[in-house]
Amino acid sequence: MVYVRQEKLPNLREYKYSSVDRSLVSRYILKPFYTNVVIKCFPMNMAPNLITLTGFMFVVANFLTLLWYNPSLDQDCPVWVYYSWAIGLFLYQTFDAVDGTQARRTRQSGPLGELFDHGVDALNTSLEVLLFAGSQNMGQSWKTVATLFASLLTFYVQTWDEYHTKTLTLGIVNGPVEGILILVGVYAMTGYMGGAHFWQQSLLATFGLPQTLTLTSSLSFTIPDFLYNLSFTEWYMVQGTFVLVQNTLESARNVIKARHARGDRSRYALVGLGPFFTTWAFVVAYLYLQPNILHNHLVPFVLFAGIVNAYSVGQIITAHLVKLDFPYWNVLVVPLSLGVIDSVGPILLEYNPIPGLGWPSALGDGVYQVSFMFCMLGMAVGVYGSFVVDVIVTICDYLDIWCLTIKHPYVEEEEQKQVNGKKIQ
């Protein structure tokens, strides 16, 4: 399948990377560390994309330890595992940040770097959701699903924002900086406290806050049980909800403002959020109708949902680079919708709201349903893999570059001779 038509490739020459990072931590702590210390560890002949991919391998290693020690996401791991997750994620953030610096100093900046970087970040998002769930003993539950929804929505909205505004905007508090550092701290703290079970106790009780607060001699206030008994994990999810809403609204304002400045209508841009919510309507429906998948096979399903989102995000970034229309269609939703249709048939037969409406399930809720779910995962890997390979090869051929190695090394002396030659003329 062809994802980028030849007539659109000249738009790659017009690409200019634009970003705004308002994070104070990034500006005053991380960037000086990256540019003055870390970048010196990488040789000039190392391709920026290879740095990105190498950093992602630390996350893959973390994921493998999760599968070995805590595949059900509800067991304590050896303490060293949590520390390795913290180190691995920090290294991923570091490698992911310095690839841009490496691209600039080796004169390898270009559209392929942004596409590659976003693709790796998209895959990392779903893996980190599973790692976080394992660090909190969330188990295979709706809490893990809710965390996945929030994480994928944040990434999708950020990419949707960049497509319409032409600028990657990171707020004062954002996921790639503060969000990752918080996760690093959570993983390290989990190891220090002896395991993920620590986060399942009441936050308020742990800090010694009494349930009944005496304000004056005649006035007291009792914290409701549901609020007082909220665990550390549940408080994190409450905080995450507020951050998610804030970031989504901020991105929507950015898009509306940018389109109004160009004289475009904002309503058409907001429709771009529809594909994500449509996909997740099927995700929630499928997991609700198939509790066996939710409670016993959630890890591979999370990988499937993550790849579906990565494919959508990859299409959006590609459209941004070569100036295509916004992509609304995701073929990977088709098997998911078929799974929902197959699962809802028996319910309609049982309750019979409309005579003659309903059908028996072809898959059931046992081994065939599990096999179908793994087939969806396999299809997602195949479709997304073909997309990645096709787009990368197309861009590399057109720009005469290589993806993971430097085809045309930058030589400062030659550039200086060319400059001097132009001056002489």
Place of tokens 């596409």: 115
Place of tokens 């000249």: 10
With 0-12 / 13-18 / 19 or more C-beta atoms within 10 angstroms meaning exposed / middle / buried, residue 411 is exposed
Strand partners, 213: 221
Count CB-CB contacts under 10 A for residue 273.
17
Q: Which of 118, 197, 297, 320 is catalytic?
A: 118
CB 383 within 8 A of CB 311: yes
CA distance 399 to 273: 32
Q: Positive or negative, the Cα torsion across 387, 393, 397, 403?
A: positive
**Which one, of 13, 2, 6, lies nearest residue 321 by Cα?**
13
Tokens (6 digits) for 397:
């051929």
**Which one, of 290, 282, 281, 288, lies nearest residue 364 by Cα?**
290
Which residues are CB-contacts of 141 (< 8 A; sequence separation ≥ 6)?
A: 294, 295, 298
CA distance 399 to 223: 63
Tell me whether residue 295 is one of the annotated catalytic residues: no
CA distance 123 to 121: 5
- Please list the active-site residues: 118
